[in-house]
Structure 1
Amino acid sequence: MSDRPLSITPQARRAQREPHSQYALLKARRFAPFFWTQFLGALNDNVFKVGFTSLVTYETARFSGVDAKTAAFLISAIFIAPFVLFSATSGQIADKYDKATLTRFVKTFEIGIMLVGAAGFLTHHAVLLYACTFMMGVHSTIFGPVKYAYLPQHLDEQELVGGNGLVEMGTFVAILIGTIIGGAAAAFPGAGAVILACTCVTVALGGRAVSGFVPVSPASQPDLRINWNPLSETWRNLALARGNRTVFLSLLGISWLWFVGATFLTSFFSFAKDVLSANPDVVTVLLATFSIGIGSGSLLCERLSKRRVEVGLVPLGSIGMSVFAIDLYFASHALPPAQNLLGVGAFLGELAHWRILADLFLLAMFGGFYSVPLYALIQSRSQPTHRARIIAANNILNAFFMIVSSLMAIALTSAGVSIPGIFLTTALLNVVVAAYIYSLVPEFLLRFVAWMLVHTFYRIRLVHPERIPERGAAVLVCNHVSYVDALVIMAESPRPIRFVMDHRIFRTPFAGWLFRHAKAIPIAPAHEAPALLERAYEACAIALEEGELVCIFPEGKLTKDGEINTFRHGVTRIVERTPVPVVPMALRGLWGSVFSRAAQAQWPRPVKKGVMSRLTLAVAEPLEPDSATPETLQRIVTELRGPRK
């Protein structure tokens, strides 16, 4: 449940005045300087890491004691190690101090780091470059909680998905540009190290300059006493995250994405050289394709989710990631032989290579569908007083998963498993992990089923959806037209709903499994099962006392002729026990579909325009519990529905 106050926040007022496009945030002082600061930081990370990795992969002889086959995985592991060591401390710092001040401190620190890195490049000193890699990891560890705690402090809840999408897109565009610059600079004959050194220092200076425009972001808990013991504080942060089961499992879901992403990204140099027989320029093409894919997926999330936190996109993302990672394995075994390392032109000239690029693009795009809703969910459902420490817990878990990813890749490579084999292993593991997470948090899978239904068969028009409360208890009341009414309402609700449903539905295999996991409340008429009826009312009372939404279909059965049946007194019984607002709703357009009891049902119901059936979900003003009589509710729902069934 959201922790935002009922009063309109300054962010909300700003959002009402500004255009409803996520791109408008790029012109807003509260977002743009922060966006470009994190963009330049991500850019510098990748110029440095890609340049370093490219040099040790293709110019191994100039770096004593470096193994080219495992160097990329080692660099990744060193960069990630500080997240495990210092994330707990950085989360406390982000909660205790102004985030704008911390941002400027971090960017100043980056300048010093890049001076060390420049010395390493100029002297081809692997130890210095590994040390710089570790310090850049420290830099990112400190900035991570600041970054994701900053967004909900300056953006309204409806802007969180769009804002996170822009940040994700910006991060991967920065990866793309950094990859191009780092790879091109490293490959520059005779002067690669000099160009890399100058570029990294220049970008760090630019990031510090932009950070000066980040607006004041007051500390969320200025009286916090920092625990400098990283071990005990790490455990405490993980305990804070575990306090909200959905948030904690979302953190695990994001960490798993970083496991998958790290496996692919750190494999690209070896994949290009050993599998594709391609030169470093082709690595840039692979990383560019991956970055554009995840950026596209991140930006599409706002449109697909209708500007709200839509966790139904998460299973869609995981399915797509597995499908295209598996196809990448098979595509890697259908490549034409090459005598020499291919350049970009020769690589793109082979049709089989376009399948590789398509798999990478689509895998990354579905990764965007997966990650953005999870980040937005964590930000919206975490308590503001310790939100940064929740993000720190996320960074700890991310780091752990990425280190395990690097260790797995090193172990599999040492055992003789090819890079495509590593991709296939990761894809199959993704299937297992996704199935496990969705079994623990059915909300993801249920929202996915509902989202797929309403986006496959129906085009839904919403009338006053803002009247469904985003927080607090309420009873939703709706007419009952078809077997998918609950799924349609679920898909368009801003938060989970407890549906009161006929007990016979729970006997059917799929529907029973679905609604049991949705925590639907079974109910039966008094003459059939009075004990079950009483338990249903008790369950409704408990749910409402906990601030949940409860939805009931007062007709008690599906309509057989499309007309609204007489409303029964169940709603009255519910609000007598727990007086909460009652929100009447009406569905139009489902009568006549295969999901209804119409004699001439069709699949889907034909319409004059478009390829999908048109539905309407209309929402009336909430009623006080004393006014919510069956007669009043039936009259309002009938008027809302109108003549269209």
Structure 2
Amino acid sequence: MSEASRRGARGEGHQSRLLKERRFAPFFWTQFLGAMNDNVFKIAFTSLVTYHASLFHNVDGKTAAFLISAIFIAPFLLFSATSGQIADKWDKARLIRFVKTLEIAIMAVGAAGFLWASAPLLFVCTFLMGLHSTLFGPVKYAYLPQHLATRELVGGNGLVEMGTFVAILIGTIVGGELAGAGAGALPWIGGVCLGLALLGRGISTWVPQTPAAQPDLRINWNPLTETWRNLRIAREDRAVFQSLLGISWLWFLGATFLASFFNFAHDVLGAGSGVVTLLLAMFSLGIGLGSLLCERLSGGKVEIGLVPFGSIGMTVFAVDLYFASRGGAHGVALQSVAQFVSQPAHWRVLADLFLLAMFGGFYSVPLYALIQSRSAPSHRARIIAANNILNALFMVVSALMAMAITKAGFTIDQLYLVTGVLNALVAIYLYLRLPEFLIRFMMWLLLHTLYRIHVKGSDQIPDDGPCLLVCNHVSFADAVVIGASIRRPVRFVMDHRIFRIPVLSWFFRTVGAIPIAPAHEDAIALDQAYQQIAEALKAGEVVCLFPEGKVTASGELQVFRQGVQRVIERTPVPVVPMALRGLWGSFFSRHGGAAMTRPFKRGILNRLELVIGAPVAPAQATPETLREKVLKLRGAWPV
């Protein structure tokens, strides 16, 4: 068992406990301070060129925010491929300390730019801070899987995402308030940025050693060929690549909103710079809360069913933001924060931003966790680098689109409407290309609207490698409940007649179900089923079958058939016994007659339990032994 797995097994509990452990806390605060510094610098610079443009020569306040965003993103396109290789080749703790030392030098340049009110120097510093983030990105997301167990990835990513956006919020407030003072604050802005860089470098000394994933890697310094190679590596796993595209789209959407808040407040809402801080605060708090809630909503596993849930909310509230902000600027004098919030109509604007961002948290955290859990450790940092390349490309396109739309005379609220509609179209494309996301969403929704489920013994299922799950068969919803409760994808063995039901057949094929038939009905189909099961187990997958062969008609556990033993003899793997409790008497069970004929037999929000026992060695996994273990796990609970 890896060190991360041992720590995870000992330390199950709320995700906040990670903030007390050295394997996570120094890393968390180092990246927190880096994100804060980025935003103190960018927000201060952007605010100054928007509200105090006279301090700088030949700077267009209308487009400067988008230009600053594009310059910051450019290094991600140019250097992400190289930074991904560096992160795979060298100890990540050493790299973090190097990057934080580089940040001190960069902020010295920035301090000079603010002191002299030099826009060219500040644009150079913006590019260098983008380079700093480019180097840190692959290290940041490849570090977590080396120190966290799989079951901790959602919680760890949630904390990192929350911390990042709280840092953005604090950086926004500090940068905005300093810039609001005008020319007199220029030396202070540079001093704060330099101080944050020094503090971050000090904390980075506590980041624990993190061995290189591939120390013998030969670095390809050609960014074009390496970028192409990274994208090819990422494309090897369809789910990983589609997740990269999904995250990149979120950065497209996020960049559009974050870069436009100054113009949105000034031109659409008729508000001052203090309201910009308020808007950014609502956005940051929303995505921070959404990121933290992910662990609770997902039950601690990588729950990609939350991704469609997030995208639906993002579209709804982006479109509603357009309608909520209609009416234009009010008069010549810019509103203060107090004047702005005194108008109830503006509460809807703030609520839309908060909820849009919260659903963005539901969307992003599972995607990051999926990439980390399904990427090969030796290539993980380079896949993160490929993600950064795509993110940068999408953000550059976002900046160009926003500049083109505003130059064409469209307002910022109309830009939000376009973005919301585009989000719906991208979501449809993503879920058609990878239906696994939509199916998991349907399973998650069913399980959280009709039932309340508690899982016992989830750590009995190995984090990787093959295993066979066996469970009692209480209802026609058993597979959905099990599939939605286990953190690894599961291949279910099911009756061939149900598998062939029109429309449902597409669903069963998409989730990788394996149809099986009795020998007297279709001997060829039976042999094919055993072959598919063997191939799945050899590929390291999890397969689940119901040894009773059919849904119980009495509620009692039936005799286990010999098929399970045939599977084990052909492919010896650990067998994990499980028991479902609470589904007998439900709409999907045969209690009182045929299933699915009497709705709401037991109402909604019924309590279920999935109890998972210790793995059984192949040699001991006889049908009789497994039945006895499942019966014991089920206990006296109504099945």
For normalisation by structure 2, the TM-score amounts to 0.95
Residue among 504, 513, 519 paired with 2:497? 504
* Contact 2:301–2:486 (8 Å) recurs in 1: no
Partner of 2:609, secondary structure, is: strand
Instruction: Say if 2:617 is the partner of 1:624.
Output: yes
Aligned-pair distance for 1:307? 2.1
Name the counterpart of 2:417.
424
C-alpha spacing 1:14/1:530, structure 2 compared with 1 (3 Å): closer
Name the counterpart of 1:59.
52
* Residue identity opposite 1:38 in structure 2: Q
* Contact 2:70–2:396 (8 Å) recurs in 1: yes
Task: State the alpha-carbon separation in 1 of the partners of residues 46 and 565 from structure 2.
Answer: 68
Name the counterpart of 1:4.
none
Residue among 545, 549, 553 paired with 1:552? 545
Task: State the alpha-carbon separation in 2 of the partners of residues 205 and 418 from structure 1.
Answer: 41
The aligned runs of 1:543-582 (5 Å cut-off) are: 543-582=536-575
* Residue identity opposite 1:124 in structure 2: A
Cα-to-partner distance string for 1:435-489 (whole Å, 9 max, x where unaligned): 2222222322222222212211111122322222322222212222222111100
Partner of 1:551, secondary structure, is: strand
Of stretches 416-425 and 330-339 in structure 1, the one that deviates more from structure 2 is 330-339
Task: State the alpha-carbon separation in 2 of the partners of residues 618 and 60 from structure 1.
Answer: 64
Aligned-pair distance for 1:606? 4.2
Instruction: Say if 2:279 is the partner of 1:260.
Output: no
Name the counterpart of 1:443.
436
The aligned runs of 1:451-600 (5 Å cut-off) are: 451-509=444-502, 511-599=504-592
Name the counterpart of 2:87.
94
Task: State the alpha-carbon separation in 2 of the partners of residues 579 and 163 from structure 1.
Answer: 35
* Residue identity opposite 2:366 in structure 1: P
Aligned-pair distance for 1:519? 1.1
The aligned runs of 1:206-221 (5 Å cut-off) are: 206-221=199-214
* Residue identity opposite 1:216 in structure 2: Q
Of stretches 225-234 and 149-158 in structure 1, the one that deviates more from structure 2 is 149-158
Partner of 1:221, secondary structure, is: coil
* Contact 1:253–1:437 (8 Å) recurs in 2: yes
Of stretches 277-286 and 414-423 in structure 1, the one that deviates more from structure 2 is 414-423
C-alpha spacing 1:218/1:606, structure 2 compared with 1 (3 Å): same
Aligned-pair distance for 1:510? 5.0
Of stretches 19-28 and 128-137 in structure 1, the one that deviates more from structure 2 is 19-28
Instruction: Say if 2:13 is the partner of 1:13.
Output: no
Aligned-pair distance for 1:272? 0.6
C-alpha spacing 1:280/1:246, structure 2 compared with 1 (3 Å): same
Of stretches 434-443 and 339-348 in structure 1, the one that deviates more from structure 2 is 434-443
Name the counterpart of 2:336.
343
* Contact 2:55–2:183 (8 Å) recurs in 1: no
Aligned-pair distance for 1:530? 3.0
Task: State the alpha-carbon separation in 2 of the partners of residues 446 and 368 from structure 1.
Answer: 20
Name the counterpart of 1:3.
none
Task: State the alpha-carbon separation in 1 of the partners of residues 341 and 249 from structure 2.
Answer: 32
Partner of 1:68, secondary structure, is: coil
Partner of 2:270, secondary structure, is: coil
Residue among 127, 130, 144 paired with 1:134? 127
Task: State the alpha-carbon separation in 2 of the partners of residues 192 and 519 from structure 1.
Answer: 61
* Residue identity opposite 1:595 in structure 2: F
Name the counterpart of 1:83.
76
Of stretches 60-69 and 450-459 in structure 1, the one that deviates more from structure 2 is 60-69
Task: State the alpha-carbon separation in 2 of the partners of residues 79 and 13 from structure 1.
Answer: 40
Residue among 430, 434, 445 paired with 2:427? 434
Of stretches 227-236 and 506-515 in structure 1, the one that deviates more from structure 2 is 506-515
Task: State the alpha-carbon separation in 2 of the partners of residues 542 and 18 from structure 1.
Answer: 35
* Contact 1:476–1:584 (8 Å) recurs in 2: yes
C-alpha spacing 1:412/1:199, structure 2 compared with 1 (3 Å): same
Task: State the alpha-carbon separation in 1 of the partners of residues 625 and 289 from structure 2.
Answer: 48
Instruction: Say if 2:67 is the partner of 1:74.
Output: yes
Residue among 389, 400, 404 paired with 1:396? 389
Of stretches 468-477 and 544-553 in structure 1, the one that deviates more from structure 2 is 468-477
* Contact 1:335–1:352 (8 Å) recurs in 2: no
Of stretches 551-560 and 220-229 in structure 1, the one that deviates more from structure 2 is 551-560
Instruction: Say if 2:378 is the partner of 1:385.
Output: yes
Of stretches 37-46 and 409-418 in structure 1, the one that deviates more from structure 2 is 409-418
Task: State the alpha-carbon separation in 1 of the partners of residues 16 and 382 from structure 2.
Answer: 29
* Contact 1:91–1:145 (8 Å) recurs in 2: yes
Partner of 2:63, secondary structure, is: helix
Name the counterpart of 2:243.
250
The aligned runs of 1:19-34 (5 Å cut-off) are: 20-34=13-27
* Contact 1:267–1:419 (8 Å) recurs in 2: yes
Name the counterpart of 1:119.
112
Task: State the alpha-carbon separation in 2 of the partners of residues 475 and 187 from structure 1.
Answer: 63
Partner of 1:267, secondary structure, is: helix
* Residue identity opposite 2:592 in structure 1: A
Aligned-pair distance for 1:613? 0.5
* Contact 1:335–1:353 (8 Å) recurs in 2: no
Cα-to-partner distance string for 1:561-617 (whole Å, 9 max, x where unaligned): 32334433332332233222222222111121122233387655548xxx7201111
The aligned runs of 1:131-170 (5 Å cut-off) are: 131-170=124-163
For normalisation by structure 1, the TM-score amounts to 0.94
Aligned-pair distance for 1:218? 2.3
Of stretches 630-639 and 412-421 in structure 1, the one that deviates more from structure 2 is 630-639
Of stretches 322-331 and 558-567 in structure 1, the one that deviates more from structure 2 is 558-567
Partner of 1:106, secondary structure, is: helix
* Residue identity opposite 1:202 in structure 2: G
Residue among 214, 219, 222 paired with 1:229? 222
Aligned-pair distance for 1:240? 1.9
Task: State the alpha-carbon separation in 1 of the partners of residues 437 and 607 from structure 2.
Answer: 25
> Superposition RMSD on alpha carbons, in Å?
2.0
Aligned-pair distance for 1:267? 1.1
Partner of 2:62, secondary structure, is: helix
Name the counterpart of 1:275.
268
* Residue identity opposite 1:399 in structure 2: A
Partner of 1:500, secondary structure, is: strand
Aligned-pair distance for 1:148? 1.4
* Residue identity opposite 2:15 in structure 1: Q
Name the counterpart of 2:406.
413
Residue among 225, 232, 237 paired with 1:239? 232
Aligned residues: 635
* Contact 1:543–1:550 (8 Å) recurs in 2: yes
Give the unaligned 5+ runs of structure 1: 1-6
* Contact 1:457–1:604 (8 Å) recurs in 2: no
C-alpha spacing 1:539/1:185, structure 2 compared with 1 (3 Å): same
Name the counterpart of 2:171.
178
Residue among 339, 358, 363 paired with 1:365? 358
* Contact 2:306–2:362 (8 Å) recurs in 1: yes
Task: State the alpha-carbon separation in 2 of the partners of residues 199 and 233 from structure 1.
Answer: 37
Partner of 2:580, secondary structure, is: strand
Aligned-pair distance for 1:524? 2.6
* Residue identity opposite 1:360 in structure 2: L
Task: State the alpha-carbon separation in 1 of the partners of residues 59 and 26 from structure 2.
Answer: 39
Residue among 584, 604, 615 paired with 2:608? 615
Cα-to-partner distance string for 1:245-273 (whole Å, 9 max, x where unaligned): 22222111111111111111111111111
Give the unaligned 5+ runs of structure 2: none
Partner of 1:459, secondary structure, is: strand
Task: State the alpha-carbon separation in 2 of the partners of residues 480 and 332 from structure 1.
Answer: 53
* Contact 2:468–2:542 (8 Å) recurs in 1: yes
Cα-to-partner distance string for 1:119-174 (whole Å, 9 max, x where unaligned): 22222222111111101101111111111122222222222222211111111011
Task: State the alpha-carbon separation in 2 of the partners of residues 76 and 241 from structure 1.
Answer: 26
Task: State the alpha-carbon separation in 2 of the partners of residues 625 and 109 from structure 1.
Answer: 55
The percent identity for this pair of structures is: 64
Task: State the alpha-carbon separation in 2 of the partners of residues 346 and 24 from structure 1.
Answer: 41
